[in-house]
Chain A
């Protein structure tokens, strides 16, 4: 283990020491010098180097040099952790300016130094490692507790901080809680809490009462319910009683009636017996009389029935006879029809006669044979039409013939007349020529005018041309002259080129001039010739115009026109004539054709006449008419035959009818008559009568039957009523009507009782009074009193109910209060809040308490663990120093100082020891501290002349002890040579060194 070893110190200026240095090579160094040599100064210097110059307030001296030497110095030390360090401290701030340089080159100030010193400050260092005589002499003042504090104050923490902390904690704790206090927070809260708890308990009790309240409520509610039911019952009872009072008379009456009724128990009488008997009696009487009536009626009918017996023989034949009689109206018709037919036959005969006359035919047979077929009828018709047509044609042809013939003759005459009127051929030609010439006159006049105009024009143009010609000639001449002059000027001036050009131009000009003159001349000749021609033409025309006059010409034209007309008429007549001739011949050819056809037709007519058996003449002209007449005749003949036939048939019918009628008549009538009509009438009458009789008879029979049935019905009913009568009488136990009626009256009496009973019963029924209780109630002697009793009871009950209700309300209120639970919850919550606050505050207090406890505990522990260790060491050293005279050091529990046990086991207080021994005790404790509590610091031990009171032996022992401390450098300051003598020469620095101590 390395220790802090101060290797050298160099003082620049400190107290009286200046510029001086020592090297501490040995582990122990002694500064030996006389008084005032400066030993304490050196000691202070080392302190100052390590912990700073003492401040001005400090009790220690600052040792500032009185001279001008600078304050401070240098200290080189080897530190256990950091190695060698140079520490230089000079004047600066109060503690001086320090510079620390480590071997590794690290530099620093106070902080680095503090780090090197592991936090040991001057106070601690001086308390443990450095001591002087004064310190040793104080040992008897130490008290047990103070020793502890001393330990701390000389230890790491410094008692002030601990003390302060402890006091602070104590204060905080007491602010919060004092076990017996009232004011601190927690004490106050505790009081509140207690109070709140009480409240809570009360509230809880109330809560617990809740169940009781609920039960109570149930109980009261039940009571109330019961009371309500009871009340209801009594009210009902009251009502019943009241009813009873009302109905009691009726009940009595009812009983009375019932008693009366008992008398009629024997009586038997049918219900409504009397009425029923009356009815039955009525019915019996009416039935009997009805039967009598019917019997009379029947006798009457039977009596009358004899005269209505019908004739059965007739009625059997009735159908036959009626059938015949039905035909009677037909007979009349038949007779009138016959008359009509006779008339018709006569008319037809007449017509036949007429037809015979028309035909001139007598032989009917022949006529009947004649053919009247449809074919022949057609042939006759054709032939007749043909005949008529032919006659027509002939008339037409005759007429045409006459007309054509007259026309032809007239035309021939006309033609001859026109031929005579025509001009001869030659004469006509002459006239035509004359007329033609005159027609050209107008044209010629026109031509004359034109020619005259042309003549004038030609003359004019000829003059114009001449004028123009002469003008051109003049211009040409001038140009020529000018050119000639130019030529001459050329020649004259001998400008030959110019002259030549002028000459050429003159020649050209002369040529053109010549040509134009020639042309003009030719043109003039042409104009003259044309003029001559025109004049000649004009003359010819004038000649022509002068031949023939106008009047002549008009005559000629008229003549020619007349002739033309005639010629035309003639030609037309000629054509007409030819046409007429053709017409004429056509008529002639028509005649021939007619002749042939006529012949053919006549032949056919003859043939037809034969067929019809008529004369030829007749046939020739009226063949078709004849045919028609024959046909008519034949028809009439057939008609006549038919009518005759019908007549005969009618006659037959009439005869048959008559025969039948006569037969029937004879059978039923005695008298004879031939009159058909009478017979029929009688027969009819008879039948009708018999029929009526028969009907009446049958009706009466039916009536009789009906009456019989009716009588039977009545008799049956009679029986029923008789039976009923018997029944009624039996039921009433009556022998006769009188008895019956008596019983009846009794029954009526009974019924009236019954009715009364039912009225009473109904009334009783209507009352709500229960029947089954009547018996019980009848026993009540005085209902009114009973009523009063009940009313009183009810009143009492109502009062009770009211009371209970009030109770119930109170309970409900209480329950409601508990259920809404405001109070309880509030108290509970408040209590809980208070409690938690109390707990929290308690914890807060606990925090301080724990801290304080922790501190106190640690301090105690520190004392208890480390102090004994230290004391043991101290004992060891003390025993060593005193040569075993003292064996134990015991700190006093209370009070100051220690007890020391001698080897004789005697105990001494510190102040009872000798001065030297006391000091030895102190030294032992100090050194024990160094070796125990502060073993880890290994700081140098500095002792300033402390062992003066030690004897030689003990001095030697203390020296030996000190030398044994290998963990700490030892620096000893002494003025005693015998102490220095314990060390080698190298270890001792003798003071003052002459060289170094100057001015002292």
Chain B
């Protein structure tokens, strides 16, 4: 029986800054800084332990312009480890670490094969068995062509594996690089599609098995949940892809029902209980807490509560860090009342959906000659969010 096993990972974003967390104690900050490397190292450990034939990295090894030499050197070290165990590595570059980048080029050991900018087939031999791997690297940051069309299955080979860093058509959340459709994937008759680009892990189709392994370490609060890679086994009969978690730190959002909580002490107790519960998972965690149905006579500002909880964080092998606390408030009711009260409010709230007002409001900062270069231009979505927040703020102030 001809069997081949490999590990499929993508979007390593090595040494990518983990940002957006404030007041972090240094031990957590240090751990976060190391987390992408730690996760990747764990993947390599797994590859060596499972004695896989090769590993596939489907793009975005580095985080772009921030590709530090350290990251590259450490990546090369991992590749050397694979080399020492005779495990090949098939790599494509994605939009983040495209070929035209101005970074220092580092040489890799012989086991590493990096696909060129055109879709290319590369044969891998294991005894009599031959595996054909197809892929391409991003030449520049923006590749909008339908590269999928260039994938042509070779006549020879026991298995065919497509490696593609791109976006599934119809999902608008992400930059639509190298788009493809499920029909495309099916039409190419590959045994396995090793995809990359989307940071949320997903199995697109079972036949052929097409997998987004997601990135290997959550880096902000949108990249929640377990992160890792897939161990894939092909044996002619079936294709098996098994996820394994390697991220040393998991981002998580937690909802807490605070119904019946009357005092601050009780609320603190509830929070601590929640943290204890999280500790049971034995994985370091960064928590975003939403508190529902909080109707207390005493009040404590969310920020204050957060501060208390953060002060309680202790250095442990598995730490729990509460990054934010949000009270879920019912603003609709107040809004309705205000609208009823006056046409002015109606107009006010109607204006809240006018993004031009938001834009204008932001101008002093976002067009500030010194400041604007450090500020990413806000997306529509962000502006909308901002408008909603502004509206909430007004309701709070006016009601």
Give the distance in Å from the alpha carbon of A210 to the alpha carbon of B20 in the complex: 30
B312 shortest CB reach to chain A, Å: 22
B389 shortest CB reach to chain A, Å: 5
A452 shortest CB reach to chain B, Å: 141
Proximity bits, A847-885, B CB within 8 Å = 1, else 0: 111111111011001100000000000000000000000
A850 shortest CB reach to chain B, Å: 4
Q: CB distance B68 to A207 under 8 Å?
A: yes
Contacts known (A169-B397, A854-B357); A828 close to B17, Cβ less than 8 A:
yes
Proximity bits, B359-375, A CB within 8 Å = 1, else 0: 01110111010110011
Q: CB distance B390 to A862 under 8 Å?
A: no
A846: contacting residue among B19, B362, B376, B397, CB under 8 A: B362
Give the distance in Å from the alpha carbon of A155 to the alpha carbon of B70 in the complex: 65
Q: How many A-B residue pairs have CB under 8 A?
A: 164
Which residues from A are CB-within-8-Å of B360? 853, 857
Stretch of A264-272, A801-809, A834-842 at the chain-chain interface: A834-842
B397: contacting residue among A155, A165, A840, A853, CB under 8 A: A165
Q: CB distance B70 to A824 under 8 Å?
A: yes
Q: Does A211 contact B (CB under 8 A)?
A: yes
B20: contacting residue among A119, A190, A840, A848, CB under 8 A: A840
Q: Does A357 contact B (CB under 8 A)?
A: no
Which residues from A are CB-within-8-Å of B66? 828, 832
Q: Does A168 contact B (CB under 8 A)?
A: yes
Q: CB distance A854 to B352 under 8 Å?
A: yes
Q: Does A421 contact B (CB under 8 A)?
A: no
Q: CB distance B351 to A161 under 8 Å?
A: no
Which residues from A are CB-within-8-Å of B358? 846, 850, 853-854
Contacts known (A156-B341, A829-B17, A842-B371); A822 close to B390, Cβ less than 8 A:
no
Give the distance in Å from the alpha carbon of A457 to the alpha carbon of B83 in the complex: 154
CB closest chain-B residue, reference A152: B344
Contacts known (A179-B364, A822-B70); A847 close to B390, Cβ less than 8 A:
yes
Give the distance in Å from the alpha carbon of A292 to the alpha carbon of B249 in the complex: 122
Contacts known (A838-B375, A847-B390); A853 close to B348, Cβ less than 8 A:
no
Which residues from A are CB-within-8-Å of B351? 854, 857-858, 861
Give the distance in Å from the alpha carbon of A824 to the alpha carbon of B104 in the complex: 14
Which residues of A, 619-673, contact B by the 8 Å Cβ criterion? none
Most chain A C-beta atoms within 10 Å of own C-beta, residue among B340, B341, B365, B366: B365
CB closest chain-A residue, reference B24: A833
Q: CB distance A821 to B73 under 8 Å?
A: yes
Q: Does B173 contact A (CB under 8 A)?
A: no
Q: CB distance A849 to B20 under 8 Å?
A: no
Which residues from A are CB-within-8-Å of B19? 829, 832-833, 835-836
Q: CB distance A119 to B374 under 8 Å?
A: no
Contacts known (A211-B104, A839-B376); A821 close to B365, Cβ less than 8 A:
no
B278 shortest CB reach to chain A, Å: 24
Q: CB distance B347 to A858 under 8 Å?
A: yes
CB closest chain-A residue, reference B360: A853
Give the distance in Å from the alpha carbon of A157 to the alpha carbon of B357 in the complex: 21
Q: CB distance A854 to B104 under 8 Å?
A: no
Contacts known (A840-B20, A862-B344); A835 close to B374, Cβ less than 8 A:
yes
Q: Does A732 contact B (CB under 8 A)?
A: no
Which residues from B are CB-within-8-Å of A162? 398
CB closest chain-B residue, reference A826: B33
Most chain A C-beta atoms within 10 Å of own C-beta, residue among B17, B343, B361: B361
Most chain B C-beta atoms within 10 Å of own C-beta, residue among A168, A193, A214, A819: A819
CB closest chain-B residue, reference A830: B17
Contacts known (A190-B374, A854-B391, A861-B351); A849 close to B17, Cβ less than 8 A:
no
Q: Does A820 contact B (CB under 8 A)?
A: yes
Give the distance in Å from the alpha carbon of A194 to the alpha carbon of B33 in the complex: 22
Contacts known (A156-B343, A157-B344, A843-B386); A850 close to B375, Cβ less than 8 A:
no
CB closest chain-A residue, reference B102: A208
Which residues from A are CB-within-8-Å of B398? 157, 161-162, 165
Which residues from A are CB-within-8-Å of B341? 119, 156-157
Give the distance in Å from the alpha carbon of A858 to the alpha carbon of B371 in the complex: 28
Give the distance in Å from the alpha carbon of A849 to the alpha carbon of B357 in the complex: 10
Most chain B C-beta atoms within 10 Å of own C-beta, residue among A177, A824, A835, A846: A846
Give the distance in Å from the alpha carbon of A214 to the alpha carbon of B71 in the complex: 17
Interface residues on A, range: 35 or more
Contacts known (A161-B398, A842-B371, A843-B386); A854 close to B70, Cβ less than 8 A:
no
Q: CB distance B68 to A850 under 8 Å?
A: no
Give the distance in Å from the alpha carbon of A853 to the alpha carbon of B69 in the complex: 46
Q: Does A186 contact B (CB under 8 A)?
A: yes
Q: CB distance B17 to A832 under 8 Å?
A: yes
Most chain B C-beta atoms within 10 Å of own C-beta, residue among A156, A194, A214: A156
Which residues from A are CB-within-8-Å of B361? 846, 849-854
Q: Does A501 contact B (CB under 8 A)?
A: no
Q: Does A973 contact B (CB under 8 A)?
A: no
Q: Does A794 contact B (CB under 8 A)?
A: no
Proximity bits, B382-397, A CB within 8 Å = 1, else 0: 1000110111011001
Which residues of B, 162-218, contact A by the 8 Å Cβ criterion? none
Q: Does B15 contact A (CB under 8 A)?
A: yes
Q: Does A197 contact B (CB under 8 A)?
A: yes
Contacts known (A190-B374, A846-B365); A836 close to B20, Cβ less than 8 A:
yes
Q: Does A845 contact B (CB under 8 A)?
A: yes
B377 shortest CB reach to chain A, Å: 11
Contacts known (A846-B358, A857-B351); A824 close to B69, Cβ less than 8 A:
yes
CB closest chain-B residue, reference A158: B342
Q: Does B22 contact A (CB under 8 A)?
A: yes
CB closest chain-A residue, reference B385: A843
Contacts known (A207-B68, A852-B361, A854-B394); A861 close to B33, Cβ less than 8 A:
no
Give the distance in Å from the alpha carbon of A842 to the alpha carbon of B372 in the complex: 10
Q: CB distance A179 to B368 under 8 Å?
A: yes
Which residues from A are CB-within-8-Å of B357? 850, 853-854, 857
Which residues of A, 58-110, contact B by the 8 Å Cβ criterion? none
Q: Does A818 contact B (CB under 8 A)?
A: yes
Q: CB distance B342 to A155 under 8 Å?
A: yes
Q: Does A825 contact B (CB under 8 A)?
A: yes
Which residues from A are CB-within-8-Å of B376? 839
Give the distance in Å from the alpha carbon of A946 to the alpha carbon of B344 in the complex: 30
Give the distance in Å from the alpha carbon of A363 to the alpha carbon of B354 in the complex: 198
Q: CB distance B68 to A824 under 8 Å?
A: yes
Q: CB distance A821 to B344 under 8 Å?
A: no
Which residues from B are CB-within-8-Å of A207? 68-69, 104
CB closest chain-B residue, reference A162: B398
A850: contacting residue among B18, B20, B345, B362, CB under 8 A: B362
Give the distance in Å from the alpha carbon of A858 to the alpha carbon of B352 in the complex: 9
Proximity bits, A140-162, B CB within 8 Å = 1, else 0: 00000000000010011100011
Proximity bits, A161-172, B CB within 8 Å = 1, else 0: 110110011000
CB closest chain-B residue, reference A190: B371
A845: contacting residue among B20, B71, B340, B365, CB under 8 A: B365
Which residues from A are CB-within-8-Å of B362? 846, 849-850
A960 shortest CB reach to chain B, Å: 30
A851: contacting residue among B15, B347, B394, CB under 8 A: B394
Which residues from B are CB-within-8-Å of A193? 374
List 9 additional A-B contacts (Cβ < 8 Å) besides A193-B374, A214-B104, A846-B378: A161-B398, A821-B71, A829-B33, A838-B375, A849-B364, A849-B365, A852-B361, A854-B357, A854-B390
Chosen A-B contacts, 7 in total, with CB atoms closer than 8 Å, are: A157-B342, A165-B397, A824-B69, A837-B20, A851-B397, A854-B352, A854-B387
Using CB atoms and an 8 Å cutoff, list the residues of chain A in contact with chain B. Answer: 119, 152, 155-157, 161-162, 164-165, 168-169, 177, 179, 186, 190, 193-194, 197, 207-208, 210-211, 214, 818-822, 824-825, 828-829, 832-833, 835-840, 842-843, 845-855, 857-858, 861-862
The 5 closest A-B pairs by CB, nearest first: A821-B70, A156-B342, A853-B361, A850-B390, A832-B17
